[in-house]
Structures are given as C-alpha cells and as structure tokens.
Chain A
C-alpha cells in the first residue's frame, strides 16, 4: 500500500459524464480527483495512428486506439481479438460487441457527435404503450438539463421548429445546423417523397463558427474515429481546463474496488497501477462514470459483507436491463451518384418513425444515411475486379459515388434478462472480464420483419437503388444503457432521480447505465443531461453537509 490520495469528489472515468461533473464541482469550489484506467494521448497521436492504418482496418472504429495491457476493451483488429475481452452470449451476442475506449477522454474521442433528445413519449413507454418502464420524471424535468448540455458541448441544430427533434425547447441551439452533402440530400428528398422527414441532426460539432475555443467543422469526414481539428466536442478537450481549475487527473489507474464503511457510505476506491500496485483514494462523494459496462462490472466486483450482491445492488438490478439500439444495415447500389462522405460522417436521421401507437406491438426505429466516405471501400472493391488503367479509375469513382449505406437503429426495451455478470475469465491484472447475455427480443424482431426492413427497402428504391441488401444479423450501435437503471423504488432500480445509488448516499452512478428507456436516438445527450442533474445534487449535498 502506498500513499493515499483524497479529494472532496472522486470521479472514476474521464469521459463526457465524468468531465462535466468534475468541471461543475470545481466551479462550485470543491476539490476533484479523476481516475482513468487508460492512458492519456494527444489528438495528433491518434490522427497519425489512423493515417497509418492499412485501408482494410480503417472501418474498425477502435483501430486507432490500441488497448493497453492493464485497461483492455473490445479490440476489433481480428476475429480472435474481437472476442477476447467482452464475453458475450445469448441469441444476439454479436449485437453487444460495444466499441468503447478506455483512454483519458473516453469514447467521445470516436463518437459521431450526434445529440438527439428523448421525446416525452420515449420516457413514458409503460403508461402510453404498456411496454418497458416509465422514467421517474418527465421530459419537462429533463429539458433544462438538455439545454445546459447543448451549451456545454456546443451542439448545433436547426432553428426551425419543424426541423427540431423534439420541437419542445426552452432555448435555441447555440449554433445553426450544418449543411447536407449530396448523399444526405438525396436521402432527404427520397424520404420526403414517402411522406417522411429526414431531420438535420443536433450534433456537438461547431457549425460555421468557433465555439468554446474549438474551431468550426471543415468536413474532414473522420469524426469516427477522430476529429483531427477538435471541431467535434470530445471530453479530452476539457481535460486541460479541468486541470487549470485545480482538478487532478490520474491516468493508468484501474479502479477495481469500491470500499464501503459505516452506514454503507462509500469511503474509498482502490486502484491498480500498471504494475498491479494497489492504491487507495478517499473522498466525500464518489462518482463512478466508466460507461454502462465497466461501471456495473466494478460494482459487482466490489461485493462485501454489507453488500453481498455487489455495491449498490440490493435490488439485484446492477448489470440487468442492458440496452443499446440494435442495428441493421442496408447496402445500396445506385444508378446515379450519391457521393457519400461530403461533410461529417453522420448528420441527419428520420426520427418520426420512432414514434407511434405501434410501440405497444413492436419497436420503432430511426433511419439514417451513413455519410462515412467510401473512397477506400470503392478502391478495395474495384481492385478485386482486375481492372487496370482508365477502367480501374472509373470503377473506383463509380463504386465510391454510387454505393451507399442506410442504417436502422431500433428501440430496445429494458429487460432484466439482458444481463452483465462477472466472467470467470480474467484480464492481465486479474480483474474479471464482463460477461453479457443479450437477446434483442420479439419486440425488435417483429419490428425488423414488418416495419423497419420493409421501410428501408422503400427508402432505398426511392433513392434509385438498383440493388439493395439488408442485413439480418443485428449489430451494435455502441450506445450502452440500462445496467444501473433509474427509478423511485429501491426494490427494482439502482439509482434515484439524481443518479444517486439507493444503497449509498454518497455514491453517484450517472450516465447511460441510469437511463430507464433507450429511445432510438444516440444516448450521449441524455447521459450528459443526467450528469448535470447529478452534479446539481452533489453540489447541494456538499453544501448541506
């Protein structure tokens, strides 16, 4: 045991959730210590790594972020490495291969930057449609936090209410919308002919102007896996500011135990350094924000005599209700060029298809045009044909311009059987790997069969597709939710309305894990809104202490 560290607030995890909380608590005059399992790197290092990847690897989102020995995560480099860390089982095991990185700054390094809000209906599934759960509070309660997050991250979006999702807002977006490239416009026009509206996405990408010391987006089209200029918000950009405000950040510090004491208060966390030396960190309040997989894992690992099922787990709900938006993909061949890849990698979605009375019967879905440039894919395919000279160039141009991808993301219901437990397999530090059982369920399978797949085919044909192939195996959307589910009843939920553990008055578990329902949109804005709500509660708790 070496020298102990201590702070008013100890934050485990340096992603968007941890960073928003750290900054707010520092602004309120409290000391903050952040612990990050992975390394800290500079933007240019990731850009350089990405540019040096062979083309076949560049579709692996995490290839520019090799895991360290002590902070492993899913590594898509090969089929073998892809199954090494996350232990997945169940009918849809493949669909929970979640891409996240354990680096300082977390997975916002390689997020798309999309910032959809939930709708009021998304938060009342049980009472409106008789499925899933209801949130413990309504949209009106969450709305001010959404607005604050949009200001904090720098979210751009349309000023016209008819293009906003949902058009229930107390303040405008801090920046106007980004333009569409040819592909997203073509998709928008096709949707309109079917009576559907493809909306410009709210996105944490600077639109036309600098914001928060970061430059405007210049359409570099590598948002996933890295914005080379920092026009897209990522939590890494707030780390220097946190340090300037007096926050301390320890990297390569793998928290492996949450220690409870009298009255079941959390009194310390313990971490291993890369050499497996153990260190103890004490504090007044503790925030575990390591994402929806690593946080439940840590709580389950921390079982003690007071908490035999794991910390914060008297309800037995820690690690249950694991959610994501199961994805299907349509590959299109088009007669006319769509020119995928002009602008950011994602910039719009059809959202209205996520709503409706059909939700009592099957899942809703969002539909979007994937705007990740296809020049490399086009070249790889064209070279396989054996063409040379002018014919080769023409085929590369045709395949890059006249192929496209549409993505469907479905709303998954919270199901306690979709469960994270501790595997008996261990990582290099001897820490159990996460084991997750996953079944997307009949609610989504029915949607895919009678709703989403037929509709994506209609959209494809309306775009002028001469060939459409829709996948049938669900895949991951990397929106990890549910494993620390929020509710008012400590018997069937893990955290209260402020993401405070029901079992431990000084332990906060904010982020995607706390989300009660998933909706169809990307989860980050809601995760971040819950972070700010938790931060308010922490400031109040320390003030009254």
Chain B
C-alpha cells in the first residue's frame, strides 16, 4: 500500500490493495522484486507524488509500477478473458469522468435527468 500511495495520487481502498497484492504475488511476472527499489528511489528523491520519482526508475521497475497502477485503474491484475476482478465500482478508471459519466449499471442521474451540456475537459473530478 505504501508504494501504491506513492504511485497513485488518489484515496485508495485498503481492501482492494490487499486483493491486488495477493493477485500480483500469484501472477506470472511478480512485481515484488521491484517494490523495495521503487520505495528506495522515492525516498532518495524525497518524492511526494509519482512524477517526482517514476521518470528515474529503471525500465523493469517502471514496468512493475505500471502493473500496480493498471490494477488499481482497471480493477484487475491481468486484463484477460476469464480473469477475476478485484474491483468494479471502485476501479479508478471510472473516476476521471465521474462528473459526467455513470459507471455502467449504476446511475448518477434520475428519470430523464440528463442533457446535452458538455462538461469541459479541464474540470477533473477530485478523487
């Protein structure tokens, strides 16, 4: 979770983090080898956000970091048919558009409550 919080500038659900950790350990390309290196790099660079240290990581460590980030966003460690997901409504992929778009099967509107007004791209929701 410590590394996830450095990689992703949003509030993260610990239970989903636990599920991601379990699935990552069981995955064909474990990321555990790179976690300590990424944490050390972040510490050495006094990083508070991902932009502070990610560009300086090795290619292998970057790949591991992107797998962790991808799992939080997509709600699944390995996005392939038949894969078991770790999150749906809390998957971060829905958050950057949550002011406009519903999570399919959920609703942010009411009967005939939506309209044609287009929100600006710049109005990024906080999450």
Contact = CB atoms under 8 A, between A and B. Distances in A.
B80 interface: yes
B124 to A, nearest CB: 6
A388 B118 contact: no
A399 B118 CA distance: 15
Contact of B93 (A178, A379, A398): A379
B97 interface: yes
Which 8 residue pairs of A and B lie closest in terms of their CB atoms, listed nearest first?
A: A379-B93, A185-B116, A216-B111, A222-B104, A182-B118, A218-B107, A397-B96, A54-B83
Nearest to A375: B97
Interface of A is mostly: loop
Contacts of A221: 101-102, 104
Interface in B35-83: 49-51, 54, 62, 65-66, 69-70, 73-76, 78-83
Interface string A245-264: 00000000000000000000
B79 A218 contact: no
A58 B79 CA distance: 11
Interface stretch (A13-21, A165-173, A332-340, A484-492): A332-340
A545 to B, nearest CB: 47
B101 A179 contact: no
Contacts of A178: 112
Given A375-B94, A397-B96, A383 B74 contact: yes
Contacts of B113: 218-219
Chain B CB within 10 Å — which of A47, A51, A228 has the most?
A: A51
Nearest to A208: B112
Contacts of A339: 100-101, 118-119
16 contacts: A54-B76, A54-B78, A180-B116, A181-B114, A217-B112, A218-B107, A342-B100, A375-B93, A376-B74, A380-B93, A388-B69, A390-B9, A392-B69, A393-B96, A394-B96, A396-B93
Nearest to A184: B116
A180 B94 CA distance: 21
Interface of B is mostly: loop
A53 B111 contact: no
A77 B9 contact: no
A55 interface: yes
Contacts, number: 171
Given A226-B105, A338-B118, 4 more contacts: A54-B78, A219-B113, A380-B79, A401-B97
Interface of A: 47, 50-58, 63, 77-78, 178-182, 184-186, 206-209, 215-222, 226, 228, 336-339, 341-343, 373, 375-376, 378-380, 383, 386, 388-394, 396-398, 400-402
Nearest to B52: A389
B16 interface: no
A222 B96 contact: no
A389 B105 contact: no
Contact of B73 (A218, A222, A383): A383
Contacts of B124: 393-394, 397
Nearest to B74: A55
A386 B105 contact: no
A219 B51 contact: no
B90 to A, nearest CB: 11
A53 B85 contact: yes
B31 to A, nearest CB: 15
Contacts of A376: 74, 93
B20 interface: no
A57 B84 CA distance: 12
Chain B CB within 10 Å — which of A206, A379, A390, A394 has the most?
A: A379
Contact of A207 (B54, B112, B116, B121): B112
Chain A CB within 10 Å — which of B73, B112, B124 has the most?
A: B112
Contact of B74 (A54, A209, A217, A220): A54
Contacts of B105: 47, 50-51, 220, 222, 226, 228
A52 B116 contact: no
Contacts of B85: 52-54
A221 B94 CA distance: 13
A394 B9 CA distance: 13
